[in-house]
Structure 1
Amino acid sequence: MKKVLLSAYACLPNQGSEEGTGWTYATTLSQNDLTVHCLTQLKGEAVITPMLQYFPNLTVHYVTLPAWVEKAYHKGLPGMYFHYLYWQWKASQLARQLDKRHQFDIVHHITYGSLQLGSFMYRLGKPFIFGPVSGGQQAPASMKQYFGAYWQREQMRTWVSKLLEHVNPGFYKTLRQASRVIVTNADTDALARRYRPVQPIERMLDGGISLSFVPETLVEHPPGAVLKLLWVGRMLPRKALELTIQALGKVNPDLPVELTIVGGRGDLVDQVPHYIEKYRVDNRVNWVGHVTHDEVKQYYRQSDVFFFTSLRDSGSHQLLEAMAYSLPVVTLDLHGQAELVNDGSGIRVPVTDPETVSDQLARAIEWMAAHPTERLTMGRQAHKFALTQLWETKIRLFVDEWYPAMLLPEGEERMVSEQVRNTIGAYTSNDKLMDS
């Protein structure tokens, strides 16, 4: 079996976001006739070790850092970036030692999925695949009011990201030396091409959904007396829950509408009651707080429309989950969500200024209420698209196409690369699927 070394700083079972992505890649690859060695953080050892009995082809190696570096992680955004870059350097040293022993065929960086933070795995000099990664998105300054006191932190993130383009060798050397670079959205694609103008850059839509999460049969949402909206996520500034609630406050008061908010963690969790009071929607909001991953399925089943108003996102796992449950989407025409959703599966509102955007989101709600038949059609199209984004299927693309191509001589590899770009349609373009 071919041996793959996986760099997954974030990697934990039964988690969402980057942690879940790292674990999904490590385990799924190991179940596809590959021997996988995964580098990750020491803090995951207690949770990961008992799980390894179920994955005989997976070995996890924990990168140990000095105590003072571990403490830096909790020192704000600069501390977190420093922790990650230091971990990467130590991971590359361990990777070299492991390569002498195991002679890896392929090196693959998965998490963090950030273009600017890059990877030091290029130092092994082996066939190296970087991604999928994002990082080209920036929150629009016109919408900064929804970040409140956290807008300065958001600006710092943008500034540090630009700085890393020039001072982080893991960024510019990876883009020059990687055999494959895979990005998740148009914003990141444009940034990557500035530093990798000639070599190919592949596209794969961000996120994925496990087959075990998808309902066994198509979920129907028959119209009822009340239009039920759903918002799911952490109360982070960039997720802009306030914008959703503001839009709800502008919906015709005679229209029976209810918004269910699922989530009870994040920087702005204490502000949720204030938003509800500010926009006078206490009779239209049901805030259920944090629920388990399994419990959220019931809210997908019980709802009519999924609302997603993130102001910086490469693509949301919750968005794909909702689409798998046949929910049409109201979102912003921005970043990753603009590529996951199209006119066949939802409504995308252009980002201009807060008043205009919230007005148009309110009109989108009213349209959904007035067009139940079209709403159901959108939900079915959303479900159809979600089925193309199964983790099991997307990761097979690496196993069947990208990994083998990287092990061919350069000329043959380039020819196979063209074949791959012509066959991955649905993984990289929602529009291609909807037009088929």
Structure 2
Amino acid sequence: MKKVLLSAYACIPNIGSEEATGWLYATTLSQEQMDVHCLTQLKGKDAIDTALASGQWPNLTVHYVTIPDWVEQSYGRGLAGMYFHYLYWQWAASQVARRLDRRRPFDLVHHITYGSIQLGSFMYRLNKPFIFGPVSGGQKSPASLKQYFGGYWRREQMRDWVGAVLERINPAFVNTIKRADRVIVTNSDTYELARRYRRTGDIDKVLDGGIGQSFLPEGPISHEPGRELNALWIGRMLPRKALELTIHALSKVDPSVPIRLTIVGGKGDMVDLVPGYIEKYGVQDRINWVGHVSHNEVKQYLQQADVFFLTSLRDSGPHQLLEAMAYSLPVVTLNLHGQGEIVSDETGIRVPVGSPEQVTTDLAAALTWMWHHPTERQQMGQTAYRFALTQLWDRKVKLFSDNWYPALATAAVQQSVREPEPVELGQFSDYRLG
């Protein structure tokens, strides 16, 4: 049985986002006849220990890496504080990993979360066969559409600036990109960034996100045409999600086209601005904002919709996009970053990114086309469903266990005969075995 070490800074069951990704990889890989050891933060301990107590994952051991309180407190102090917290934790995790490896050597090491290429990972310090990813981070929001960030555009620029600085000064980034045996990225933007620093060596691309078996409907859904076109938007009210752009485009749809947009989501930095957007663009009679709903209710809205509408300005691959496709919905989106790669001409309409006038006009035209072509949009939805079936989490994780791990495990045999490096735990030695 292969002994695999996962670095999963974010790893908590049942809360979504990167935490869900870390937990999913750890549990799924442990069911593939592997002895999986997962390094993660102490804050997930209660939820993880409760889940492990079920006995469902006997091959998974979780190690909680702790850091000093003053470092923990840095997390909530803006972007710089979050990055510092992450890098410090990664360094601490690498120290714990080296100590664990001395006790019983690992066959290979795999960094899962955070999935940020610029932040990198210190797991290269183990000198073991090493997989980094899937990661993103090469995407940049188009400046031509900065008006939809409102007061948050400066923060978006700061993110890009910090990313550029980290590429030059963060040893975790430079060494990981150069020394990892395999780098896995989620979109072409990140591939191009990785290739600038990794002139030789494997870089593979897998689309971001995935779908769990439990979320799938029993089969493809036939969205029969009705008296109006029901468009659906799902997400958090974050600046980069550009809900204002969605609403602006909706306002340009000719009044003769019967269309209603349902907005699902009630959390995020810009939630208080949504009523103002609706009033500003005069679409009160075309929008149904339902706020935050349960996961089961999301399924109901997906079943009732005709088109999924997404205008994110920076995304490696929105999970809700794949979920909508799993419910046989065609997509209207931007030809940008992850969504531009997930959606094809057979599953939706991708609008090129230019000026606000061009983008909103083209988005409105795409919605209008969907209304006037019910047969074609249903065909797109059926094709989207078939594509979604290729993006199941189980299948994606098997890329690692069936293809990439075996080759690296062979190299691990050769690595294991080397004299291990001395371990200097010092102040980083506070860890617990789950």
TM-score range, shorter chain: over 0.9
**Residue correspondences, number:** 410
Runs of 4+ aligned residues of structure 1 deviating over 6 Å after TM superposition are none
C-alpha separation between the residues in 2 aligned to 1:409 and 1:134? 27
User: What is the aligned partner in structure 2 of residue 360 from structure 1?
Assistant: 362
Say which of 306, 309, 328 aligns to 2:308: 306
C-alpha separation between the residues in 1 aligned to 2:409 and 2:78? 41
Q: Is the 8 A contact 2:308 2:324 kept in 1?
A: yes
Amino acid across the alignment from 1:110: I
Q: Is the 8 A contact 2:118 2:173 kept in 1?
A: yes
Task: Tell me the TM-score normalised to structure 2 length.
Answer: 0.93
User: What is the aligned partner in structure 2 of residue 387 from structure 1?
Assistant: 389
What is the CA deviation profile of residues 327-384 of structure 1, one whole-angstrom value per residue up to 9, with x for unaligned ones? 0000000000000001000000000011110111001000000000000000011111
C-alpha separation between the residues in 2 aligned to 1:38 and 1:244? 40
Say whether 1:12 aligns with 2:12.
yes
Say whether 1:50 aligns with 2:50.
yes
Q: Which has the higher contact order (CA 8 A, sep 6+)?
A: 2
> Pairwise mapping of residues 283-432 of structure 1 onto structure 2 (< 5 A)?
283-408=285-410
User: What is the aligned partner in structure 2 of residue 152 from structure 1?
Assistant: 154
What is the CA deviation profile of residues 302-331 of structure 1, one whole-angstrom value per residue up to 9, with x for unaligned ones? 000001100000001000000000000000
Amino acid across the alignment from 2:263: I
User: What is the aligned partner in structure 2 of residue 220 from structure 1?
Assistant: 222
C-alpha separation between the residues in 1 aligned to 2:311 and 2:17? 17
C-alpha separation between the residues in 2 aligned to 1:102 and 1:330? 51
Q: Call closer, same or farther: CA 1:372–1:268 in 2, change over 3 Å.
A: same
* Cα offset, 1:409, TM superposition: 5.1
C-alpha separation between the residues in 2 aligned to 1:15 and 1:374? 36
Task: Tell me the TM-score normalised to structure 1 length.
Answer: 0.93
Q: Unpaired segments of 5 or more residues in structure 1?
A: 411-436
Q: Is the 8 A contact 2:229 2:306 kept in 1?
A: yes
* Cα offset, 1:408, TM superposition: 3.0
Amino acid across the alignment from 1:285: I
User: What is the aligned partner in structure 1 of residue 425 from structure 2?
Assistant: none
Amino acid across the alignment from 1:228: N
Secondary structure of the structure 2 residue equivalent to 1:107: strand
RMSD between superposed Cα atoms in Å: 0.9
C-alpha separation between the residues in 2 aligned to 1:166 and 1:185? 21
Tell me the percent identity: 68
Q: Is the 8 A contact 2:263 2:287 kept in 1?
A: yes
C-alpha separation between the residues in 1 aligned to 2:71 and 2:411? 41
* Cα offset, 1:116, TM superposition: 0.5
* Cα offset, 1:233, TM superposition: 0.4
Secondary structure of the structure 2 residue equivalent to 1:194: helix
C-alpha separation between the residues in 1 aligned to 2:101 and 2:355? 52
C-alpha separation between the residues in 1 aligned to 2:26 and 2:293? 26
What is the CA deviation profile of residues 24-56 of structure 1, one whole-angstrom value per residue up to 9, with x for unaligned ones? 101100111011111111111111110013211
User: What is the aligned partner in structure 2 of residue 188 from structure 1?
Assistant: 190
Q: Is the 8 A contact 2:129 2:411 kept in 1?
A: no
Q: Unpaired segments of 5 or more residues in structure 2?
A: 413-434
C-alpha separation between the residues in 2 aligned to 1:146 and 1:237? 7
C-alpha separation between the residues in 2 aligned to 1:334 and 1:252? 25
C-alpha separation between the residues in 1 aligned to 2:67 and 2:290? 39
Q: Is the 8 A contact 2:38 2:63 kept in 1?
A: yes
Say whether 1:209 aligns with 2:211.
yes
C-alpha separation between the residues in 2 aligned to 1:128 and 1:231? 38
* Cα offset, 1:265, TM superposition: 0.4
Amino acid across the alignment from 1:259: L
Secondary structure of the structure 2 residue equivalent to 1:283: helix
> Pairwise mapping of residues 112-131 of structure 1 onto structure 2 (< 5 A)?
112-131=114-133
Amino acid across the alignment from 2:186: T
Tell me which moved more, 382-391 or 9-18.
9-18
* Cα offset, 1:15, TM superposition: 2.2
Q: Is the 8 A contact 2:2 2:409 kept in 1?
A: no
User: What is the aligned partner in structure 1 of residue 25 from structure 2?
Assistant: 25
C-alpha separation between the residues in 2 aligned to 1:102 and 1:226? 63
